[in-house]
Amino acid sequence: MILDGKCPTGPIEQTWDKHRFDMKLVNPANKRKYKILVVGTGLAGASAAASLGELGYNVETFCYQDSPRRAHSIAAQGGINAAKNYPNDGDSIYRLFYDTIKGGDFRAREADVWRLAQVSNNIIDQCVAQGVPFARDYAGYLDTRSFGGAQVSRTFYARGQTGQQLLLGAYSALSRQIKAGTVKLFPRTEMLDLVLVDGEAKGITVRDLVTGKVRCHTGDAVLLCTGGYVNVFYLSTNAMGCSVTAIWKAHKKGAFFANPCYTQIHPTCIPQAGDYQSKLTLMSESLRNDGRCWVPKKQGEKRPANEIPEEDRDYYLERKYPSFGNLAPRDIASRAAKEQCDDARGVGPGGRGVYLDFRDSIRRLGEDTIRERYGNLFEMYERITDENGYKVPMRIYPAPHYAMGGLWVDYNLMSNVPGLFVLGEANFSVHGANRLGASALMQGLADGYFVIPYTVSHYLAQSKPGKVKEDHPECKKSIGEVEGDMKRLLSINGKRTVTDLMRELGILIWENVGMARSKESLTDAIARIPGIREEFWKNVKVSGNGADFNQQLENAGRTADFIEFAELLARDALHRNESCGGHFRVEYQYEDGEARRDDTNYCYSAAWEFKGVGNEPELHKEPLKFENVHLAVRSYK
C-alpha cells in the first residue's frame, strides 16, 4: 500500500495556516460531550491534556509514575530550539525548517517540519507566560546558545535543566485543569491494550499498578504520548520505566510502525562500569567544546592516561574530521568512538571508552573557567565514576538516547487507525533519520500545545460522542486478554529473572543492531530473537501475584513487548539498504567512512503492518517529496 500523509499542498509557508482554516471545529457547548484519553504525561502528553481540557473537552490522562511531573522529558538538559531570531543572527522559520530537514538526513516530511518550525516561536511565548525561568541576559531579555547542526544561536535554556522546567510548566498547566475538573488524572496506571470498535480507537485497557486491577477506559479519541523505545538496548539514557509497550500494543492492533531503525546513539555518555549496571548517564554534548577526544595509539595500552605522551595519543576526531574536529555531529562522533574501541584501543573497564580530555583547555583557560562552564557536569561525573575530570581525562562512550522512529501518523498526527493520535517521541514525524539537539522538547510541546488541539477537533467534529461504554464486548475481550497474559507470565515460574532476559536481548540488539549494522549482523539478530522469545515464555520467573503492587510483573510485560519489537527493529534495518542519519549500514559507506544514502530507492518512510508474532510484517511505503529543499549529501569534513 502506498501511504498518504495527507499533507496540504501549495506554498509551504501557507500550509499550516490554510489547513487550520480548512479543519472542522467542535461547538463549545458540545466539547464536554467528547472524552479524550491521553496516555503519558511528558511534554507532549501534559501539554495536550492541559490544552484540550482548557478547550472544554472531557480528558482522562494516565501515567505509570506516581506523578505526572516525573515523565522522562524531565531529564532533557540542553535546551529548546525556536526561530525567534532574537540575537539578529540570521535565523528564520525557513532556516529552522531547513536545518531540521537536513539534520534528519532528508527522511522527514516537509510540511510537518515546516509546521514545527512555525509554531516553535509560540512555544517560547507560552512557556514564559507559565513562569518558566529561562536564562536571561542583563537587560532582562531571553538568552540563547548555540547547538549542534545549526549556525545560529536559537536554543533557549534554563541552566542544565531545560527539560525539567518545560515539563514543570506543562505539568502546572495540567494541574490547573485537574483542579478545574476538565482533566482526570490516573497516576501509577499503565496502558496494556488499545480497544478498537469497528476499526476505530475507542478505549484503552490499563492496569492499576497499586491494586493490580485491570480495567477499561473508553473515549472518543486516544492520544499516545508515551515516548521512545531505546530501552530495547537494555542500557540507555532513558528512565527505567520507558518502554515500547503502549505503541507496541497499538501496533499489534493495526497501527503502522514507521522507521523503527532510526535510533539515536548519543556520543557523550559515561561508559558502562559493570554487568550489574542498570542505566547509562548522559553528559551534555557541550563538553566537546573544550574537551578533546583521544585514545592510545597502541592496542591494549596499559599506562594510565596521564603517563601516555603526546606522540602516543590519537586525537581521532581531529585527525578524521579536521574542519569539525571534536564537534563532529552525534552520529559521526559515536561511530568513530566505536571504531577505536573495536580496534582494541578503547580505555577503561572492558575497553569500551574513549578519553575526553580537558588538560589543554585547563592549561589555556585555567581550571576556574572550565569549572564555571561545566562544573555541575564534572561533579556528576565524579559522583558516578569517583574520578576527578580536572585531573584525569574523563572517559565517555556512546549510548542509546532517542528514537526517531515511532508509530506512523499523517499530517494531523493521526495513525492509520482512525481516532488514534500519536504525539512526541512516540510518533515518527519530524526528525527523519536523525534528530538535532534541542529539537525533542520543541516537538513534544508543538504537538501538544499547538497541533493536536486543532487536529483532534477536526476528527471529533465528524464523529458522534460517547458511542462506546465500558461494558462493550470489545472492552471485556481486551480485559480478558490482558489478564490472560498476566496469568501466563505469573505461571511460568522458570529459572531466569526478567532483568536477566532483558539484558540478554539488549546485548544482542546493541551488538548487532546498534551503531554499525550489516546484513550479517541483522540476519543473525533476526535468527536469534525468536530463541530469546521462546526462552522468555518458557523460563522467566515472575514472583508475587497480579492483584498487587508487583514491579516484576510490570517489567515482565515490558520485556515481552521489547522482545517482539526487537525483531521489527532488526527487519527494518535489514530492509533499508542505505546509510542515513542514525541508521548506519557498513555496506553502504563512502571510502572515507561517510554514510551513503540511496535517494533513488529509499527516499520513503517505511511503515510496517503487524502480521502476528514471529511472522514477517508487511511493508507500506510513504514516498517523500522534497519541493522546497534540495536533496544533498551531508558532509562534515
Enumerate residues 555-574 that contact another protein by CB under 8 A: none
Backbone torsions φ then ψ of 249, nearest 5 degrees: -60, -40
Stretch that binds another protein, among 300-308, 355-363, 365-373, 547-555 (CB under 8 A): 547-555
Stretch that binds another protein, among 17-25, 59-67, 310-318, 481-489 (CB under 8 A): 59-67
Task: List the one residue out of 325, 326, 343 whose CA is nearest residue 394.
Answer: 326
Question: Can you tell me the distance from the alpha carbon of 1 to that of 604, in angstroms, rounded to the nearest whole number?
Answer: 13
Question: Can you tell me the distance from the alpha carbon of 189 to that of 193, in angstroms, rounded to the nearest whole number?
Answer: 12
Stretch that binds another protein, among 178-186, 189-197, 248-256, 293-301 (CB under 8 A): 178-186
Minimum CB separation of residue 278 from another protein in Å reads: 5
Are 473 and 41 in contact by the 8 Å Cβ rule? The answer is no
Using CB under 8 A as the binding rule, whether residue 138 contacts another protein is answered as: yes
Nearer to another protein, 188 or 477 (CB): 188
Beta sheet of 35-39, edge-to-edge order: 183-186, 58-62, 35-39, 221-224, 420-422
Contact with another protein (CB under 8 A) among 544, 590, 633, 637: 544
Contact with another protein (CB under 8 A) among 10, 89, 368, 549: 549
Strand-pairing partners, residue 39, are 62, 224
Count residues near another protein (CB under 8 A).
83
Nearer to another protein, 161 or 457 (CB): 161
Secondary structure letter of residue 326 according to DSSP: G
Secondary structure letter of residue 157 according to DSSP: -
Residue 494, exposed/middle/buried by CB under 10 A (0-12, 13-18, 19+)? middle
Angle at 167 between CA 163 and CA 170, to 5 degrees: 145
Residue 368 in grid coordinates: 576556574
Interaction residues for another protein, span 299-358 (CB under 8 A):
none
Contact with another protein (CB under 8 A) among 385, 463, 539, 628: 385
Contact with another protein (CB under 8 A) among 133, 466, 480, 531: 133
Stretch that binds another protein, among 169-177, 218-226, 227-235, 340-348 (CB under 8 A): 169-177
Task: List the one residue out of 238, 253, 261 whose CA is nearest residue 192.
Answer: 253
Nearer to another protein, 197 or 273 (CB): 273
Question: Can you tell me the distance from the alpha carbon of 341 to that of 57, in angstroms, rounded to the nearest whole number?
Answer: 54
Nearer to another protein, 277 or 462 (CB): 277
Question: Can you tell me the distance from the alpha carbon of 24 to that of 19, in angstroms, rounded to the nearest whole number?
Answer: 10
Using CB under 8 A as the binding rule, whether residue 75 contacts another protein is answered as: yes
Interaction residues for another protein, span 82-121 (CB under 8 A):
84, 86
Using CB under 8 A as the binding rule, whether residue 165 contacts another protein is answered as: yes
Indicate the SS3 state at residue 615. Answer: coil
Using CB under 8 A as the binding rule, whether residue 50 contacts another protein is answered as: yes
Interaction residues for another protein, span 481-520 (CB under 8 A):
495, 497, 499-500
Distances (CA, A) of 628 to 3, 292, 610: 21, 38, 34
Question: Can you tell me the distance from the alpha carbon of 242 to that of 64, in angstroms, rounded to the nearest whole number?
Answer: 9
Nearer to another protein, 164 or 226 (CB): 164
Residue 352 in grid coordinates: 569500551
Interaction residues for another protein, span 363-382 (CB under 8 A):
380
Using CB under 8 A as the binding rule, whether residue 210 contacts another protein is answered as: yes
Residue 501 in grid coordinates: 532476559
Q: CB neighbours (10 Å) of residue 223? A: 32
Contact with another protein (CB under 8 A) among 15, 47, 118, 205: 47
The residue written with cell numbers 515482565 in the block is: 556
Contact with another protein (CB under 8 A) among 19, 72, 313, 620: 72
What would you report as the CA-atom Rg of the chain, rounded to the nearest whole angstrom? 24
Minimum CB separation of residue 54 from another protein in Å reads: 6
Angle subtended by helix axes 93-103 and 110-129, to nearest 10: 120
Minimum CB separation of residue 388 from another protein in Å reads: 14
The set of residues, in sequence order, having a beta carbon less than 8 Å from that of 356 and lying 6+ positions away, is 268, 287, 288, 291, 292, 293, 393, 394, 395, 396
Contact with another protein (CB under 8 A) among 34, 57, 106, 171: 171
Nearer to another protein, 212 or 593 (CB): 212
Stretch that binds another protein, among 93-101, 129-137, 200-208, 597-605 (CB under 8 A): 129-137
Nearer to another protein, 184 or 477 (CB): 184
Strand-pairing partners, residue 58, are 35
CA torsion, ordered 611, 617, 620, 624, to nearest 10 deg: 140
Nearer to another protein, 414 or 445 (CB): 445
Task: List the one residue out of 265, 295, 296 whose CA is nearest residue 356.
Answer: 295
Residue 435 is among the residues annotated as catalytic for this protein: no
Using CB under 8 A as the binding rule, whether residue 388 contacts another protein is answered as: no
Minimum CB separation of residue 210 from another protein in Å reads: 6
Minimum CB separation of residue 40 from another protein in Å reads: 13
Task: List the one residue out of 61, 65, 55 whose CA is nearest residue 36.
Answer: 61
Residue 580 in grid coordinates: 542515513
Contact with another protein (CB under 8 A) among 528, 541, 575, 596: 541
Angle subtended by helix axes 551-575 and 519-539, to nearest 10: 160
Interaction residues for another protein, span 274-303 (CB under 8 A):
274, 276-279, 281-282
Task: List the one residue out of 68, 335, 285 whose CA is nearest residue 176.
Answer: 68
Handedness of CA 220, 1, 578, 113 (dihedral sign): negative
How far is it between the farthest Cα atoms of the chain? 75
**x-or-dash pattern for another protein, window 406-445, by CB under 8 A?**
----------------------------------------
Contact with another protein (CB under 8 A) among 12, 59, 74, 247: 74
Could you tell me whether strands 35-39 and 58-62 are parallel, antiparallel, or unpaired per DSSP bridges?
A: parallel
Question: Can you tell me the distance from the alpha carbon of 381 to that of 394, in angstroms, rounded to the nearest whole number?
Answer: 8
Minimum CB separation of residue 293 from another protein in Å reads: 22
Minimum CB separation of residue 285 from another protein in Å reads: 16
Nearer to another protein, 271 or 617 (CB): 271
Minimum CB separation of residue 392 from another protein in Å reads: 15
Minimum CB separation of residue 151 from another protein in Å reads: 22
Task: Tell me which of 95, 330, 435, 571 is the catalytic residue.
Answer: 330
**x-or-dash pattern for another protein, window 222-241, by CB under 8 A?**
---------------x-xxx
Stretch that binds another protein, among 123-131, 411-419, 505-513, 573-581 (CB under 8 A): 123-131
Using CB under 8 A as the binding rule, whether residue 181 contacts another protein is answered as: no
Active-site residue set: 330
